Chain A
C-alpha cells in the first residue's frame, strides 16, 4: 500500500492534481466572465441603436409627409398610399389621426417585433388641428 501511494504521488506528491484543478477552475471563471462581458457589451451596442434607428425612421417619414402637406387630405387611402410610397419594404406602419370632428385610422396588425411609436400635431390648410399618432415595426 505504501508502495502504491508512493508510486501515485510520484516525485511531487498530489500537488500536480490540485494545480491542474486550479487552472481548470480559473479558466472556467475567466471564460464565463468574458462571455458575460461580451454579451453585455454587444447588447449595449446593437439593440438600442437599432431601436432608436427605427423610431427615427418613423419620425422622419411622418415629418417628410407633414412638410409636404400629405396629411391635409385627411383621407385614409390617400395617406396610406403616401406612407407606403416612402416606407422601406421591410417595415410596416399604421396611423391614427384625431381631429375635432373626425377620426381617421389604419389599425395595428399583430406583431411580436418592437413597435416604434410617436405623435405630432397636424395643421391642415383649412386650419383643422389634429393629433397624429403612428406606429412602425419591422415585418
Chain B
C-alpha cells in the first residue's frame, strides 16, 4: 500500500512539473506573440515618426525660403519682414499640402500656419504672429516680463522729417525703442518712456504705428515698410528655441488611424 501511495505522489509531482513547464512555454509563446505585436507597432511608429519629421522639415524649408521673415537668435531675438508681407507663401503651402495628401496617406491641417504663421519663442512663451498673413499687422504676445523691451526699426521709401516719429502714452511693463529710416531723413524715439510711436511722412501721411500694452506689442503699417522687431535681452532660461507651436500643424495618418499635432522647430 505504501508503494502505491508513493507512485501516486510521484505521478502527481511529475504532472505538476510538466504543467509548470508547459505553462512556461505558453507564457513564452504569448510573450513572443506580444513582442511581435510590439515590434509591428514600433515599426509603424518609426515609420510615422520618419514621415512626420520629414514633413516638418519640409515646412521649415518652405517657411525659411518663402515667408520673407528673417530670424536672428542671440541674447535678443530679431524678426525682420516686409509689411504688408506680400510673399505668397500660402500658394506653396497649399501645393505642399496637396502633395502630402496625395502621396503619403496623410491628411494635413495647416490653417493656423496659413493665417497667423505663429512663431513661438520657447521657453519664454513669447509669440510673434500675424492677424492674417499678408495683411499689415504684426503682434507679439508675451505672457511674462522675461525680457527688457522692444526695439523696432522701420525702413520706408517715403520722405521723413526729423519729427516724423511721434511718441505718446506711458511706459508699460517693457520699454519701446523706435527707429525709422526714410528716403532722406531718419527719426527715432529711444527714450524708453513711451508706449506708442506713430510714424508720419513729410507730407503728414501716416506710415506706421507701433504700440506696447503690458508686455505685448502691436505694429501696423499703412504704407509698405520693412520692419525689424527685436525682443531685447531675454532672461537666460536655458536654450532658446523658435518654433511653430504644435497646434499649428495637425496630421492624420489615415493608413494607421493615428493623429498628431507636430511642432516645427525653426531655429
Contacts and interface: CB of A to CB of B under 8 A. Distances in A.
Interface string B13-39: 010011001101100110110011001
Given A15-B7, A118-B50, A119-B50, 20 more contacts: A26-B14, A33-B18, A37-B24, A41-B31, A44-B31, A44-B32, A48-B36, A52-B43, A55-B46, A56-B46, A59-B50, A62-B50, A63-B54, A67-B57, A98-B103, A118-B46, A120-B54, A121-B51, A121-B100, A123-B96
Contacts of A136: none
A43 B17 contact: no
Interface string A55-78: 110010011001100000000000
Closest 10 CB pairs of A and B: A120-B54, A123-B58, A48-B39, A33-B21, A121-B54, A129-B99, A44-B32, A40-B28, A123-B61, A44-B35
A121 B55 contact: yes
Contacts of A55: 43, 46
A119 B54 CA distance: 9
Interface of A: 12, 15, 19, 22, 26, 29-30, 33-34, 36-37, 40-41, 43-44, 48, 51-52, 55-56, 59, 62-63, 66-67, 98, 118-123, 125, 127, 129, 131-132
Most buried by A among B58, B65, B95: B58
29 contacts: A15-B3, A15-B7, A29-B21, A33-B21, A36-B25, A37-B28, A44-B28, A44-B31, A44-B32, A44-B35, A48-B36, A51-B39, A52-B42, A59-B46, A62-B50, A63-B50, A63-B54, A66-B57, A118-B46, A118-B47, A119-B50, A120-B53, A120-B54, A122-B54, A123-B96, A127-B61, A129-B58, A129-B96, A131-B103
A40 B10 contact: no
Interface of B: 3, 7, 10-11, 14, 17-18, 21-22, 24-25, 28-29, 31-32, 35-36, 39, 42-43, 46-47, 50-51, 53-55, 57-58, 61-62, 65-66, 92, 95-96, 99-100, 103-104
B153 to A, nearest CB: 29
A44 B32 CA distance: 5
